[in-house]
Structures are given as C-alpha cells and as structure tokens.
Amino acid sequence: MDKDDMLQLTSPGWVDRPVENGRQHGEPMVLAPPPLLQYWQIVLRWKWIILGIIAAAFTVGLIVTLLTSPQYSATSRIEISREQKKFTNVEGVDSPISDRDLEFYQTQYSLLQARSLAERVARTLRLSTNEEFFAAHGVDLSGSLFTSGAAQKSGAAETARREKMAVDLLLDHIAVSPVRGSSLVDIRYVSGSPTISAQIANSWTQQFVAQSIDRRFASTTDARQFLEGRLADLRVKLETSERDLVNYAAQKGIVALGRTKDADGRTQVDRTLVSSDLEALNAALATATAERIAAESRAHQQSGGANADALSNPTINDLRQKRTEIAAEYAKLMVRFEPDYPSAKELAQQLRTVDAGIAREESRVLNSRSSDYQSAVLRENALRRRVEQLKSGLSRQQQDSIQYNIYQREADTNRQLYDGLLQRYKEIGVAGVGANNIAIVDPARVPDSPSSPNFLINLALALVAGLGLAAIATFALNQIDEGLRDPTQVGRILQVPLLGSVPTSEGSDTLTELQDTKSALSEAYLSIRSNLAFSTDHGIPRALMVTSTRASEGKSTTSFALAMVLGRTGKRVLLLDADMRSPSMHSFAGLPNVTGLSNYLAGADNWHETLLETPSRGVTLMPSGPTPPSAAELLSSDRITTLIRQASEQFDHIVIDSPPILGLADAPLLTRAVEGIVFVVEADGVPIRGIKTSLARLQAVHAHVFGVVLTKLQSRLSSYGYGYGYSYGYGSNDRDA
C-alpha cells in the first residue's frame, strides 16, 4: 500500500464498522450536516429569488401604507358584573343563577355585537342622515335620491337603505375585546373621523346599558298582568273562607286562645277557653289531692310522738330550748347539792312548768290536724266535680274542632296564596330599581393621532409576509429541483457509498488543473483513488468502469483523472475508451483516434497495436476507434472480456470510460468484464429518480457499484468540508510517490 493509502487510513473520516445504511465495511462514513446548515445551503442556493420576493413584499407594503387613509380608533371600557347590584333586596323575574352560568359573559359579548344594539345606536345618533358619518367610512352619497328630483317619491326607501347601510358600517367597524382575567370589556370603534369614532364608542356603551335596563323591565310586564288576575280570584276565595270560619266558631262556642303553625305553614288551634279552664282546674285538683293526702298523713300520727308540725312549731321549739338550759343548770347543782337545796327545788319547779307548756302545745297541734284534713277533703271533692264537667264540654268541643280546623286550613291556604302573590306583585314593580350590573369605567376620548396605518408595523408585516412567501417559494423550488446537492445525500437517499466529491473547476482548462497536483480538482481525485483502495480486499480494483446516468456529468473527466492519479503512484494503467458513440479520451490525451477498441471488437487480432502512450506518467490509452454501426452488438461479444483478461496481465489497473446508462445498452454489457463500477453523478443535475433508475439497471445485471463520485459541486453551497491542496498538510513528495 502506497503513502496516499496510509494517509487516508489515518484521516478522521474513516471508520471500521459493519454495513450500515448501504455503507460497507471500511467505507468512509459521511454524516448528515446539522439542519440549520442544510437550511442555510438552501437559502444560498435560492438567495436571489428570496431577496426578490422579500423586496416585492416590502415595496407593496410601503405603497399600501402610503396610500391608505388614516383611521382613528376610540375605545371605551365598561365593567360587566356577574351579580346585579340592587338598592332593594327584591328578586326579579329572571333567575339569579342565570348570572352565574358559564355562558354569562359570552352572552354579554354577543349582545354587545348584536344588530339590535347597532340599530339602536343608529337611531339615537340619527346616522342615516349624517353625511359626516358616511364620509368617515369612505361612502359617497352625493348621488343618492335625497339630492335628486325623485326624493319625494322614494324617500322612505332611501331612508331604509341608509339605515341599513349605517347599521352595516357600525357592525363592520366595532370591536369588542374582553380584558383577560377580569370583568372589563373594551369597545373600540374605528373610522376616518376622530370625533365620529369617540361619539359612536360612547353611544354604544350608553345604549348597551339602557338596552339592558329596558330588557329587564320589559320582562316583568307579562308577569304583572298574570298576577293581577290571580290576585282578584284569590281575594274572593279568602273572604269567603274567613267568613265561614268565624260563623262556625260563633255557632259552636269555640273561643281560640292559642294557635300554632305546622310544617306546611297551616294554622292549628292549640288552646280554647274550655281547654284552658280544664287545664287550670286540673292543676288545682292535683294540688288539692296532694294537700288532702298530706293532712290525712298528719292526722294518723300518734299524739305523743314527734311529728313534722311539732318539730317545726316555733313555740314548742322555744320551750324545749328553755327546758334544756334549765336542765343543764339543775344538773350542775346536783353535783354539789342535794335535791332539797332551795335553788335546786326552784329549778325542778321550772322544769315541771316548762314540760307542762310543751305538752299543751303538742296537744293543740294534734287537734288542728283533724280540722285541716276535713277541709282538704271537701276542697278536693269540689274540684273533682268541676273537672268532670269541663271534660264533657271539652270532648264535645274537640269534635266540633275537626270542622273548625278544616275551615281554618282553607282560610290559611287562601291567605298564604294571596299574600305571596301580592308580595310578588309588589316586588316586580320595584325589581328594576337598583344599580345596573353594567358600569361605564372609562368613556371614549377623541383620539389625537390615527391608529392606522402604522408605518413600522405595516412594514414589519410586509417583511414577515415576504419571508413567508419566500419560504413557500423556496420550499416549492427545492422540491421541484430533485438533484443531489450535498454529498451527505448520497448515503441517505441512494444507499450507495460515497467515494468522493469533485468541486467545480475554477479555471477554464480542466486538464491543466488535473495536471497541477496542488489544485483542488487534483486533490479531490486523489481522495477518490484512496477511497477506492478500500472497495475490495486487494486494494484498488484491477478493472473498473466509470459511467453515469446521462452525458456531460463528468464521467470522461473522472475516467481520465483516475487514470492519471493511479499512474502517478507508479502503476501501469490502461485507459480504455469504451464510449464508441461519443469518444473523448483521445482529445484529453491529445492523441489521434485512428484505430482502437472498435477495431479489435470487430475482429482485429492484435490489440497491442491500438495502444497509445499518453503524456501522463504510467497511463496508456486505447482509443475508441472508428464509430461502429452498432456499438451494442460489438460489446455483446466475448472479445471485450478476453481483452480485459489479457490486458490485466500487462497492466496493474484498467479504467474504462463507459457510455451513459439511460437509453443505451452499452454500459450494462460492459459490467460483465470489470470488477465494479464507479458511478458519476453531477451535483444539481439529474433528478434523483433518474439516478435510482440507473442504479436499478446496474443491479438488474448484478453489477457491483463501488460508490458514487459527486462532480461539479459548488463548495459554497455545500456543508461538505473541502480544503483540497496543501492546507491538509500534504507534501509534494507524498502525492508524486
């Protein structure tokens, strides 16, 4: 392996990995460029079209801005509350839940843009007869029927037409913009007059508030009429039911002292005069019975025993206290004296006197028990008889109360209905009295400067529109132009290895650049030769064919350049011009084309006589020879295979310049005589579908394609890294070795 092969092995573009996306073992891996770089390449490719579209859009935007009449925008702001504020705590006809619905604000926004509101504003401001209003919107009414002789005949029709036109103009120029996250709404009106804009914006909000109030009051009219009829009927029923109730109570002697209401709100009679008397007498009877039992208990106690009356009698308690004191003094004297002692006798006499007094008092208490007991028995019996009498009267009254309660419930029901309807009737009358839920926050002011056209914004929009149109046009053109534009597309689209890329020749003479080892063109083909060294297991193929999809893609130049590069390495190279329909190799070498391949294929025995030495080192040329009547018939014979086999014994490499593939049978016939094919593709040339068709023809004859050489590539439009020449650090000795 030569030095160039060693240099390629150490370059960073080579990897040793298994086959991936059509790339074989040992082939260079070409990564796709970043998306931004791809977009930049597309922009550079179509830059003049992009700049033209942007300039045209910018110019149109400038002209439209300068020709547009100034428009003035006036904005008023209102607040729409969910809950209606009221001075009175009175419910209206509408349900209060309706203000809390999710659709509430959307309904209000729609009402702000309703045609009925626009008609109301038009009538209030008399816009149908306001010439300034129509002039502010660019409407010329100078030729209307109002200024002609037929005005009297068609005045009504013209008025209706103007009113409709005014309403349409209002709806077209009004804008409702809710303030996000709040209950505020901006109403903006735009026209050619600042005064008209402010006037209509303010009138719009005022009429919206008035319309809301009118709508709320109008909704109560039907309800009031219905309630009036119902109240008249209920009034008669209430009077009748109350009269029946009073007459029945007087007839049965029912005097109600207390009433309560049940769960349904109906009145029930709890206490009457009879039940109240019975309750009081029954309580007195219970008390008398208890007193009689207590008196009887006291009467049955023994006379000498201690009882509650005696214990609670203050006289007896005082006497007993006095006896205790005397007894204590008497006991003290008995300690020192005899009972006959005068003082002792006196104390003993006092004890006897006190004991006699206690006995008299206890006797008096026992005598009073009997009289109390008799009195209690008499009182209890009298109360019991009265209670029995009241029980009989109450029983009869309870039976009468059943019908009484029926009359009472009917009267209560009628009264409840009447009171409810009467209250509702009164409430509806004042339901609209209160603060409206719509309030004007900021009235519109007459604008000082026009809101449109905005010079900078319009130019920015024109620029954005131009960029958008340019992007669409670039995308469309980029899709229509299907040629390969970047080396990275070869592996991704064709699934074929990339051998190398050849830049566009900067000079006028391609041969001169190929002979200059320092040129970018020569460096490109040197890189391709090095890549071919890895296409087979024995290095550079012994016999290879160079072909393309169509003519003028750089096929012949590539054949000649590969032969020159191989010859520089000291190899013996045979350059075989097999394009007998349009030969060109002899002109590259500056040699005649008298005899050549066609002579040998036609039957000549000595092919060595057709060989010509070229000025290039190590390169021998076999021209195509005279143009045969049918090149395909000559190539279909076995003589071409024999020629390649015999030439391989004398030359290290054979490079065949083949005709294009599409439309000809020559190239597929030549594939059976070579190891493989170098396929040349012109950048931005043949559409991808044509390239794939050519590769499919080669695959159909089982030809081996070593890879693709992308020619005529403009480096400024590609992301592929060029830098051919000495910028890579190659020395002249390395290339000439």
For residues 151 and 289, membership in a common domain is answered with no
- 19 lies in some domain: no
Any residues with CB less than 8 A from the CB of 176 and at least 6 apart, and which? Answer: 109, 112, 113, 185, 186, 187
Any residues with CB less than 8 A from the CB of 434 and at least 6 apart, and which? Answer: 84, 85, 86, 87, 88
When the pLDDT of each residue in the chain is averaged and rounded to a whole number, the result is 78
123: left (phi over 0), alpha (psi -120 to 50) or beta: alpha
For residues 294 and 353, membership in a common domain is answered with yes
Residues in the chain: 737
pLDDT tens, position by position, 237-259: 878 887 877 777 777 666 666 66
Contact 557, 711 (CB under 8 A): yes
Rounded CA-CA distance 442/78 in Å is 7
Long-range CB contacts for residues 139-148, cutoff 8 Å, separation at least 24:
139/165, 139/169
Strand order in the sheet with 438-442: 174-178, 184-191, 72-80, 438-442
pLDDT at 703 over 70: yes
For residues 62 and 89, membership in a common domain is answered with no
- Run of H or E residues at 157: helix 151-173
Closest CA to 406 of 505, 302, 274, 266: 266
Rounded CA-CA distance 237/118 in Å is 50
Task: Name, of 363-367, 409-413, 494-498, the range with top average pLDDT.
Answer: 494-498
Task: Name, of 229-238, 272-281, 361-370, 475-484, the range with top average pLDDT.
Answer: 229-238
- 259 lies in some domain: no
How many domains are contained in the chain? Answer: 4
Domain that holds residue 119: 72-220+436-442
- 516 lies in some domain: yes
Task: Name, of 252-261, 488-497, 728-737, the range with top average pLDDT.
Answer: 488-497
For residues 88 and 173, membership in a common domain is answered with yes
pLDDT at 654: 95
One-letter amino acid of 457? I
3-class DSSP assignment, residue 455: helix
For residues 300 and 352, membership in a common domain is answered with yes
Task: Name, of 16-30, 129-143, 402-416, 523-537, the range with top average pLDDT.
Answer: 523-537
pLDDT tens, position by position, 11-23: 333 333 333 444 4
Model confidence band, residue 423 (pLDDT cutoffs 50, 70, 90)? confident
Copy the structure tokens of residue 735: 């290339």
- 465 lies in some domain: yes
- 253 lies in some domain: no
Q: Flag the least confident range among 84-93, 294-303, 554-563.
A: 84-93
- 54 lies in some domain: yes
Query: Residue 405: how many CB atoms within 10 A of its CB?
Result: 16
pLDDT tens, position by position, 459-488: 888 889 989 998 998 888 777 756 777 788
Backbone φ and ψ for 453, nearest 5 degrees, come out as -80, 145
pLDDT at 96 over 60: no
Contact 185, 57 (CB under 8 A): no
Backbone φ and ψ for 712, nearest 5 degrees, come out as 55, 40
- Run of H or E residues at 108: helix 104-112
For residues 213 and 343, membership in a common domain is answered with no
pLDDT at 675: 93
- Give first-to-last CA distance, the chain, whole Å: 11
For residues 572 and 642, membership in a common domain is answered with yes
Rounded CA-CA distance 457/462 in Å is 8
- 618 lies in some domain: yes
Rounded CA-CA distance 450/455 in Å is 11
pLDDT at 5 over 60: no
pLDDT at 450 over 60: yes
Copy the structure tokens of residue 329: 């003094």
For residues 52 and 88, membership in a common domain is answered with no
Percent of the chain scoring above 70 in pLDDT? 75
Query: Residue 538: how many CB atoms within 10 A of its CB?
Result: 9
Rounded CA-CA distance 718/545 in Å is 27
For residues 530 and 421, membership in a common domain is answered with no
pLDDT at 722 over 80: no
pLDDT tens, position by position, 615-628: 989 999 999 999 99
> Mean pLDDT over residues 402-431, rounded?
75
pLDDT at 101 over 70: no
Select the more confidently predicted residue: 644 or 375. 644
- 26 lies in some domain: no
For residues 555 and 704, membership in a common domain is answered with yes
For residues 274 and 370, membership in a common domain is answered with yes
pLDDT at 681: 92
Rounded CA-CA distance 347/352 in Å is 9
For residues 493 and 473, membership in a common domain is answered with no
pLDDT tens, position by position, 181-214: 888 999 999 998 899 989 999 999 999 988 888 7
Rounded CA-CA distance 555/709 in Å is 9
